[in-house]
């Protein structure tokens, strides 16, 4: 009998208990494992904007925020108005992420008259199991001895993929880009892989072409924050250039995707421009001379034509 699956804390970084949402503060990793207490919709939106959690963490936080306001508003007559206000606040937090797909889902459930809280809990349980399936499907694409390059962080899926490979008697190792300027690769991906006993090497973002040209990488696996109907994806800035290099060096480029949004193509995905301070400073220390401007698009668009295979998160509304 297989041993129980060991999950990274990043696989499910948000929890709900006793009318409080507990959010893993990913900005403090790897130095500190700390959960922020969120007790209002406003605090949840602030956690999203400040990237206290990201990717899967922000998706689950959306649903837990609705659970929170349901618990806080016992008056069923006024609940729909509160839910709509909550959806509007969440949708305004980060433009590139398809939160509207999620908030519309909750509002549709509420309008249908079905037990809203039960639907939300059931959806989250399904999301968790489908993510496990997504990781297992990805592991089937990996060969024994593969060295995998990844960019940014896929919310606990990379060590899970490695775990499934291990169960298939396949040994894999990883290269992780540092992923400037938030350093999700070196702070999060490298941390969770090392925590779970897998070999990982961090490289600076600008070293990707050299590393690929040296023949050190067999596969590239990244996530996606947004999937358009035509297969284009939005992911952490720097993904597009890695996809171009993968095509140049004939290396498979795999993407773990969320369900498609209404966007017809990548051109319809609005790119979030983050505050320049996040690029010019790190943990309060100025990295560039005063007066220098910064430009930090948080995402870029990788066209479908550069993607070897989409590994879909198969969810039904």
157: confidence class by pLDDT, cuts 50, 70, 90: very high
Average pLDDT over all residues of the chain:
95
In this predicted structure, the answer to whether residue 316 has a pLDDT above a threshold of 80 is no
Please give the pLDDT value at position 278.
94
Residue for token pair 């400040």: 50
- What is the value of pTM for the model shown? 0.94
In this predicted structure, the answer to whether residue 16 has a pLDDT above a threshold of 90 is yes
1: confidence class by pLDDT, cuts 50, 70, 90: very low
2: confidence class by pLDDT, cuts 50, 70, 90: low
Instruction: Identify the weakest region by mean pLDDT among 35-44, 112-121, 145-154, 192-201.
Output: 112-121
Could you read off the pLDDT of 77-122 as tens digits, one per residue?
Answer: 789 999 999 999 999 999 988 899 999 999 999 999 889 999 999 9
In this predicted structure, the answer to whether residue 24 has a pLDDT above a threshold of 50 is yes
Please give the pLDDT value at position 317.
55
Among residues 146, 225, 232, 300, which one is catalytic? 225
* DSSP states along the chain: -PPPPP--GGGS-EEEETTEEEEE-GGGTTT---EEEE-SHHHHHHHHHTTSS-THHHHHHHHHHHHHHHHH---HHHHHHHHHHHHHHHHTT-SSS-HHHHHHHHHHHHHHTS-HHHHHHHHHHHHHHHHHHHHHHHHTTPPTT-EEEE-S--TTHHHHHHHHHHHTT---EEEEE--TTTTHIIIIIHHHHHHTT--EEEE-GGGHHHHHHTT--SEEEEE-SEE-TTS-EEEETTHHHHHHHHHHTT--EEEEE----S-SSGGGSPPPEE-THHHHEETTEE-S-TT----EESEEEE-GGG-SEEEE-----
Please give the pLDDT value at position 77.
79
Mean pLDDT within 302-317: 91
**Calpha distance 180→278 (Å, rounded):** 10
Could you read off the pLDDT of 189-205 as tens digits, one per residue?
Answer: 999 999 999 999 999 99
**Percent of the chain topping pLDDT 70:** 99
Please give the pLDDT value at position 114.
82
Could you read off the pLDDT of 218-227 as tens digits, one per residue?
Answer: 999 999 999 9
**Calpha distance 171→280 (Å, rounded):** 39
Asked if 225 is an active-site residue, the reply is yes
In this predicted structure, the answer to whether residue 9 has a pLDDT above a threshold of 90 is yes
């Amino acid at each position: 009998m297989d041993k129980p699956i060991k999950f990274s804390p990043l696989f499910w970084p948000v929890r709900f208990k006793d009318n409080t949402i507990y959010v893993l503060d990913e900005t403090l990793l790897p130095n500190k494992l700390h959960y922020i207490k969120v007790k209002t919709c406003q605090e949840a939106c602030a956690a999203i904007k400040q990237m206290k959690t990201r990717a899967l963490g922000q998706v689950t936080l959306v649903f837990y925020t609705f659970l929170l306001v349901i618990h806080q508003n016992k008056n069923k007559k006024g609940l729909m108005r509160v839910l709509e206000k909550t959806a509007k606040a969440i949708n305004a937090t980060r433009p590139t992420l398809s939160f509207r797909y999620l908030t519309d889902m909750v509002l549709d459930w509420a309008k249908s008259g079905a037990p809203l809280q039960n639907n939300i809990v059931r959806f989250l349980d399904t999301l968790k199991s489908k993510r496990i399936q997504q990781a297992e499907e990805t592991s089937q694409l990996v060969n024994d001895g593969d060295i995998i390059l990844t960019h940014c962080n896929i919310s606990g899926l990379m060590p899970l993929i490695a775990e499934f490979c291990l169960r298939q008697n396949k040994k894999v190792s990883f290269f992780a880009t540092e992923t400037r300027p938030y350093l999700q690769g070196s702070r999060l991906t490298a941390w969770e892989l090392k925590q779970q006993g897998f070999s990982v090497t961090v490289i600076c973002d600008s070293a990707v072409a050299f590393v690929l040209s040296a023949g050190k990488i067999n596969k590239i696996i990244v996530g996606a924050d947004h999937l358009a109907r035509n297969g284009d994806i939005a992911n952490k800035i720097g993904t597009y250039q890695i996809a171009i290099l993968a095509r140049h060096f004939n290396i498979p480029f795999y993407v773990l995707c969320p369900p498609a949004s209404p966007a017809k193509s990548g051109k319809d995905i609005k790119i979030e421009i983050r505050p320049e301070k996040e690029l010019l400073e790190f943990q309060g220390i100025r990295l560039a001379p005063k007066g220098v401007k910064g430009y930090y698009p948080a995402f870029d668009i990788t066209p479908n034509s550069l993607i070897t295979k989409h590994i879909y998160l198969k969810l039904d509304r």
